[in-house]
Amino acid sequence: MEKTDKLTVMESWKSNLRAWKIWWQMCPGVFISKFVYSVFNAASPYVTIYFSARLLEELAGRRDSEQLMRWIILILAVEAMRKLMGGILSHLTAYEQLSAKKMDDRIYMKKMLQLDYADIDRQYVYDLYSQIIQTENWAGWGMRRSLDIFEKMVCGVIRMLCGIGLSVSLFIQRVPESSTLAGLNHPIFIVVIIVLMLIIALAAPACRNRGNDYWNSYAEEARFGNRYFSFFGFMSGDRKRALDIRMYRQQEKVCSVYMERVNSFGVKSIMAKWARGIMGFWYVASVGVSVILTGIVYLFVCLKAWGGAFGVGSVTQYVGAITNLFQGIAQFIETLGEMRANAGFLKPCYEFFDIPNNMYQGSLTTEKRSDRQYEVEFKDVSFKYPGTDAWALRHVNMKFKVGNRLAVVGMNGSGKTTFIKLLCRLYDPTEGEILLNGIDIRKYKYDDYIDIFSVVFQDFQLMALPLGENVAGGAEYDEEQVKRCLEDAGFDKRLEAMTAGLDTYLYKDIDKEGVEVSGGEAQKIAIARALYKDAPFIILDEPTAALDPIAEAEIYNKFNNIAGDKTAIYISHRLSSCKFCDEIAVFHEGSVIQQGTHEELVAEENGKYYELWNAQAQYYVEKDA
Amino acid sequence: MNLTIKPGEKLAIVGLNGAGKTTLVKLLCGFLDPTEGRVLLNGEDIRKYNRRDYYDLFSAVFQDFSVLEASVAVNVAQNVDNIDENRVRLCIEKAGLTEKVNSLPAGIDSKIGRQIYEDGVELSGGQTQILMLARALYKDGAVLVLDEPTAALDPIAENDIYHKYSEMTKGKTSLFISHRLASTRFCDRILFLENGEIAEEGTHESLLAWGGGYAKLFEVQSRYYKEGGENNGED
């Protein structure tokens, strides 16, 4: 079990303070409403205590019916006001709280968008984020809990102050000297009682915090259990898995078995054992100690009242005030304990927020050229993915001729997609440099640099938004241009069939009249999107993987329209595409082993290209007898 | 649609997107019931059988698959206990993933996926597809169904699958659905589907001679592999 780090009070305080500052910037209303509500909640019981005490005193004393009436009416009025105020404040606080809950994701998403791609792709960063989310889902620890802590802290402090205010007089008011209990007036009593009450008031939360420590130390196991449950518990709801689940009886043979065995939260788990045992003991002790405290308070107050120091009404006042006071102390101390625990869980959050941006520091702007003469060159580029030992690219030298069509081929894992990622500056080379018009691309402003590329990746995403917006990548667009791009991508017939045209929503997430597009149709839309951007470089990574031969041939036919005068890079397993490219680069184990036209490469019968080409072509070309 | 599949037959199903290939497969495997007509197993309407028991007859690799967050062995055997490790290794060998699996730190006990285990391995799309093939082989169902099983594979790996096809399907009835008409060479009979019907049926040679939809599809696909083929596109 992981032990949450034992931080000092100062460190815990600073940690939670930082969380509060972050929340304050996003959602100040939460703090204001929580503060007001807490003050209200802490103070209002005392109002009741005070007035009830006066009423009881009157009942025990003169019993003047008019005075009683006045007190009763006052109490009723005050209660009504209290409830009303309470209702309003609770409503406001709930609203702010819910707003904050939505903002909660925003903090992380903002950071994600700012991160260098190289960091997003790193397993460590993904694991860190995953850990943060899991902890939040498990018991709300982290950023969310810091808000609760604020509320409890304010509540505790106000309660203490009010409690002190109302109970000071308990110690001051003296038992008449004539009474047998006059000894209670002796200062030593006061000191002893106060010390005793303080000890107990501190002991109760201390016990509770000990119990909580067990809960917190379970974090790692709890996260693991949740991960298990998140996968196996919801797997059967995933539509894509439906066929396999039935065909291979996955639910009975694997899922159920695992769900039964991984028992982080079940009756037989360690947590349950602790809850029944040691944890339970500490919680019970905490409550028991509180009850003892209440008993002592009653004893002292009643004795003094018996002795004649004050009337019956005041008894309820003092008992109420003191119990509240010590509950306030208890709450305060418990909150300190919670702060400490939370600081431990906030650590990964801050680690995440503090990930630096290393990559996009360049400041040169790319010159806007209407002649599209952008020359990109790889100079002896080698690359290793961060945290791995194997070279993904080795000594790659490539000059992209402007307006050229380059086909990139090679076996799976040979470095083709890595090559593209480096070209788009999603990663920086480990060795060597990439130049744009002779200048290292790191010197350019990233946004400017990326503007010269239009890319269709293998795992592209379309959004559940109108078709026109998907193609244009924005809410405002040139309709004619969008239609032209869709036509060039071979989507025109499908577009005609859409009654709402470019305003048709894709998918049903937002608009229930939205259309589901097949894999092939989605690919065409993605191509249209790349065309709309109209960048000097266009990169297509396996763009016909989901298309049938006729649709694929359409794309090939339109390739002239698609590539136009751009510099085009076409990655594909279907080597037939090499025929209409000007040049082919063959990747193998991270290096470019062959480069040339199709005719040149296919003539090299010992080469990799020949092997790849033949593996496919043999079924389509009738060999001469 | 009328179709009789003989035991041990190797059938190829081809056609454009939306022609009904996957729907046919779903009806065959019993995932869907026909609106009219019947699906028969050895002359009996399959609705008479317990549907889950009926599924047991089939080993399939569909286009969407369900990889589990568990070890390679569990994924292949689809069992938590009682895994025949030798058989697992054999099936991985047959499918062509031995080298990759041996390179993993814990071999067949290495965990796939990182949703649960933080030290799990992520396989590439092609490797996952081959793993699913190994799973189908382990189940050893009487009917092997492969729906676009080489979509994510490079030409060499794809060719590998074709060459191993007869070994993989020995003693089984098999269905191979694909766009890539190269695969049809390895099958006894080809069905060309169009608009939900079997438009053409025969061997590769007979269909080419017929000169219908299949022949056209083949011509379109082979165009660029032929000498001077790229110029035909301009016509």
**Whether A250 contacts chain B with CB within 8 A:** yes
* Contact criterion met (CB below 8 Å) for A179 and A308: yes
pLDDT tens readout for residues B147-158:
988 877 888 888
Query: Computed from CA positions of residues A179, A180, A183, A184, in that sequence, does the dihedral angle turn out positive or negative?
Result: negative
Of A20, A21, A9, the residue nearest A337 (C-alpha): A9
Q: What is the DSSP letter of A547?
A: -
Query: CATH class for domain A374-452+535-619?
Result: alpha beta
Distance CA(B22)–CA(B144), nearest Å, equals 14
Q: Which residues in chain A have their CB less than 8 angstroms from residue B80's CB? A: 253-254, 257-258
Domain A458-534 in the same topology as domain A374-452+535-619: yes
Flag whether B175 is in a domain: yes
Cβ–Cβ of A247/B229 closer than 8 Å? no
Q: Which residue do the tokens 């019947």 mark? A: B38
- The band of A2, judged by pLDDT with boundaries at 50, 70 and 90, is very low
Flag whether B232 is in a domain: no
Q: Å from A140 to nearest chain B CA?
A: 20
pLDDT tens readout for residues B170-209:
889 999 998 788 888 889 999 999 989 999 999 999 999 9
**Confidence (pLDDT) at A358:** 79
Distance CA(A294)–CA(B210), nearest Å, equals 98
**Whether A3 contacts chain B with CB within 8 A:** no
Segments of B53-203 assigned E as strands = 58-61, 143-147, 173-177, 189-194, 197-202
In percent, the amount of chain A with pLDDT more than 90 equals 25
* Contact criterion met (CB below 8 Å) for A365 and A34: no
pLDDT tens readout for residues A274-307:
989 999 999 999 889 888 888 888 888 888 888 7
A252 torsion bin: left (phi>0), alpha (psi -120 to 50), beta (else)? alpha
According to the CATH classification, is domain A9-27+105-353 in 2.40.50?
no
Range of the domain at B102: 70-140
Flag whether B62 is in a domain: no
Distance CA(B63)–CA(A172), nearest Å, equals 83
pLDDT tens readout for residues B55-81:
999 999 998 889 999 999 999 999 999
Q: Which residues in chain B have their CB less than 8 angstroms from residue A412's CB? A: 124, 126-127, 152-154, 157
Radius of gyration for the alpha carbons in chain B, expressed in angstroms and rounded: 19
| The pair of three-digit structure tokens given for residue A276, joined into one six-digit string | 């029944």
**Confidence (pLDDT) at A282:** 92
Cβ–Cβ of A579/B182 closer than 8 Å? no
Q: Å from B37 to nearest chain A CA?
A: 23
**Confidence (pLDDT) at A513:** 85
Same-domain status, B53 and B115:
no
Instruction: Check residues A187 and A345 and name the one with the higher pLDDT.
Output: A345
Q: What is the DSSP letter of A218?
A: T
**Whether A368 contacts chain B with CB within 8 A:** no
> Which residues make Cβ contacts (< 8 Å) with residue A63, sequence separation at least 6?
none
* Contact criterion met (CB below 8 Å) for A581 and A557: no
Using CA coordinates, name the residue in chain B closest to A556: B233
Instruction: Summarize the confidence of residues A191-212 as an average pLDDT.
Output: 84
Distances (CA, A) of A278 to A202, A270, A273, A287, B24: 20, 11, 8, 14, 61
Distance CA(A555)–CA(A524), nearest Å, equals 9
Distance CA(A466)–CA(A349), nearest Å, equals 36
Please tell me which of the candidates B52, B153, B230 has its beta carbon nearest to residue A579. Answer: B230
Instruction: Summarize the confidence of residues A402-427 as an average pLDDT.
Output: 88
Distance CA(B203)–CA(B205), nearest Å, equals 5
pLDDT tens readout for residues A561-581:
778 888 999 998 888 888 888
Of A293, A299, A356, the residue nearest A184 (C-alpha): A299
Distances (CA, A) of B85 to A361, B88, B135: 53, 5, 13
Same-domain status, B24 and B87:
no
Flag whether B230 is in a domain: no
Please tell me which of the candidates B55, B116, B155 has its beta carbon nearest to residue A616. Answer: B155
Instruction: Summarize the confidence of residues A81-86 as an average pLDDT.
Output: 91
Cβ–Cβ of A518/B17 closer than 8 Å? yes
Distance CA(A580)–CA(A573), nearest Å, equals 14
Q: Å from A240 to nearest chain B CA?
A: 6
The full set of domain ranges for chain A reads 9-27+105-353, 374-452+535-619, 458-534
| The pair of three-digit structure tokens given for residue A573, joined into one six-digit string | 């397993």
* Contact criterion met (CB below 8 Å) for A374 and A537: yes
**Whether A262 contacts chain B with CB within 8 A:** no
Same-domain status, B35 and B129:
no
Cβ–Cβ of A550/B80 closer than 8 Å? no
Q: Residue B184 sits in a domain of what CATH number?
A: 3.40.50.300
Cβ–Cβ of A548/B58 closer than 8 Å? no
Angle at B114 between CA B116 and CA A101, to 5 degrees: 70
Residue A563 sits at φ, ψ, to 5 deg, of -80, -35
Cβ–Cβ of B65/A227 closer than 8 Å? no
Q: Is the pLDDT of residue A1 over 60?
A: no
Using CA coordinates, name the residue in chain B closest to A614: B155
> Which residues make Cβ contacts (< 8 Å) with residue B100, sequence separation at least 6?
B123, B127
* Contact criterion met (CB below 8 Å) for A153 and A383: no
| The pair of three-digit structure tokens given for residue A290, joined into one six-digit string | 């509180």
Cβ–Cβ of B78/A576 closer than 8 Å? no
Distance CA(A500)–CA(A223), nearest Å, equals 46
**Confidence (pLDDT) at A623:** 53
Q: Is the pLDDT of residue B32 over 90?
A: yes
Same-domain status, B152 and B78:
no
Structural domain ending residue among the three candidates B140, B164, B180? B140
Residue A506 sits at φ, ψ, to 5 deg, of -90, 140
Query: What type of residue is A252?
Result: E
Q: Which of A558, A620, A621, A622 to mutate to test the interface with B (most CBs of B within 10 A)?
A: A620
**Confidence (pLDDT) at B235:** 36
Residue A378 sits at φ, ψ, to 5 deg, of -95, 120
Please name every residue paired with A247 in a beta bridge, in sequence order, or none if there are none. Answer: none
Structural domain ending residue among the three candidates B105, B140, B175? B140
Q: Å from B4 to nearest chain A CA?
A: 22
Q: Is the pLDDT of residue A468 over 70?
A: yes
pLDDT tens readout for residues B90-120:
999 999 899 999 988 889 999 998 888 878 8
Domain count along chain B: 2
Cβ–Cβ of B116/A227 closer than 8 Å? yes
Q: What is the DSSP letter of B137?
A: H
Distance CA(B45)–CA(B38), nearest Å, equals 6
Using CA coordinates, name the residue in chain A closest to B27: A243
Structural domain ending residue among the three candidates B140, B173, B193? B140
Using CA coordinates, name the residue in chain A closest to B162: A615
Please tell me which of the candidates B29, B78, B220 has its beta carbon nearest to residue A553. Answer: B220
Query: Computed from CA positions of residues A21, A23, A28, A33, in that sequence, does the dihedral angle turn out positive or negative?
Result: negative
Distance CA(A383)–CA(A590), nearest Å, equals 9
Q: Is the pLDDT of residue B230 over 60?
A: no
Q: Which CATH superfamily is domain A458-534 in?
A: P-loop containing nucleotide triphosphate hydrolases (3.40.50.300)
Flag whether B8 is in a domain: yes
Same-domain status, B31 and B79:
no
Q: Is A514 helix (H, G, I), strand (E, B) or coil?
A: coil
Of A545, A538, A503, the residue nearest A523 (C-alpha): A545
Longest C-alpha distance within chain A, in Å? 132
Please name every residue paired with A540 in a beta bridge, in sequence order, or none if there are none. Answer: A456, A570
Distance CA(B92)–CA(B191), nearest Å, equals 30
**Confidence (pLDDT) at A585:** 93
Same-domain status, B221 and B164:
yes
Q: What is the DSSP letter of A212?
A: H
| The pair of three-digit structure tokens given for residue A19, joined into one six-digit string | 């969380």
Same-domain status, B18 and B53:
yes
Residues in chain B: 235
Q: Which residues in chain A have their CB less than 8 angstroms from residue B230's CB? A: 579-580
Please name every residue paired with A569 in a beta bridge, in sequence order, or none if there are none. Answer: A406, A539
Instruction: Check residues A169 and B146 and name the one with the higher pLDDT.
Output: B146
Q: Which residue do the tokens 């070279």 mark? A: A391
Distance CA(A537)–CA(A530), nearest Å, equals 10
- The band of B229, judged by pLDDT with boundaries at 50, 70 and 90, is low
Of A153, A36, A46, A150, the residue nearest A86 (C-alpha): A36
**Confidence (pLDDT) at A389:** 80
Q: What is the DSSP letter of B64?
A: S
**Whether A584 contacts chain B with CB within 8 A:** no
Q: Which residues in chain A have their CB less than 8 angstroms from residue B181's CB? A: 549, 619-620
Cβ–Cβ of A619/B18 closer than 8 Å? no
Which residue intervals of A396-474 are DSSP H helices? 416-423, 446-450, 467-472
Query: What type of residue is A61?
Result: G
In percent, the amount of chain A with pLDDT more than 70 equals 96
Cβ–Cβ of B154/A612 closer than 8 Å? yes
Mean pLDDT of chain B: 89
Distance CA(A217)–CA(A194), nearest Å, equals 35
Q: Which of B81, B116, B165, B234 to mutate to test the interface with A (most CBs of A within 10 A)?
A: B116
Complex-level ipTM: 0.91
Distance CA(A495)–CA(A518), nearest Å, equals 13
> Which residues make Cβ contacts (< 8 Å) with residue A564, sequence separation at least 6?
none
- State the count of interchain CB pairs (< 8 A) between A and B: 163
**Confidence (pLDDT) at A311:** 77
Distance CA(A583)–CA(A591), nearest Å, equals 16
* Contact criterion met (CB below 8 Å) for B77 and B88: yes
Buried b / exposed e over A216-240, threshold 16 CB at 10 Å, is: bbbbebbbbbbbbbebbeebeeeee
Same-domain status, B129 and B170:
no
Residue A383 sits at φ, ψ, to 5 deg, of -150, 135
Lowest mean pLDDT among A138-147, A339-348, A375-384, B219-228: B219-228
Cβ–Cβ of B69/A232 closer than 8 Å? yes
**Confidence (pLDDT) at A625:** 36
Please tell me which of the candidates A254, A458, A550 has its beta carbon nearest to residue B68. Answer: A254
For A121, the enclosing helix (H) or strand (E) is none
Which residue intervals of chain B are DSSP H helices? 21-29, 51-55, 72-77, 85-95, 98-103, 125-139, 155-168, 204-210, 213-222, 229-232
Instruction: Summarize the confidence of residues A495-506 as an average pLDDT.
Output: 88
Cβ–Cβ of A576/B224 closer than 8 Å? yes
For A517, other C-beta atoms within 10 Å of its C-beta total 19
Instruction: Summarize the confidence of residues A121-143 as an average pLDDT.
Output: 85
**Confidence (pLDDT) at A622:** 66
**Confidence (pLDDT) at A6:** 56
pLDDT tens readout for residues A527-561:
999 999 988 899 998 888 777 888 888 888 888 77
Please name every residue paired with A515 in a beta bridge, in sequence order, or none if there are none. Answer: A506
**Confidence (pLDDT) at A4:** 42
**Confidence (pLDDT) at A319:** 82
Same-domain status, B23 and B127:
no
Rounded to two decimals, the pTM is 0.80
Q: Å from B160 to nearest chain A CA?
A: 9
| The pair of three-digit structure tokens given for residue A41, joined into one six-digit string | 């909640």
Please name every residue paired with B202 in a beta bridge, in sequence order, or none if there are none. Answer: B190
Cβ–Cβ of A576/B159 closer than 8 Å? no
Q: Which of B21, B31, B118, B187 to mutate to test the interface with A (most CBs of A within 10 A)?
A: B118
Q: Which residue do the tokens 């296919």 mark? A: A602
Q: Is the pLDDT of residue B234 over 90?
A: no
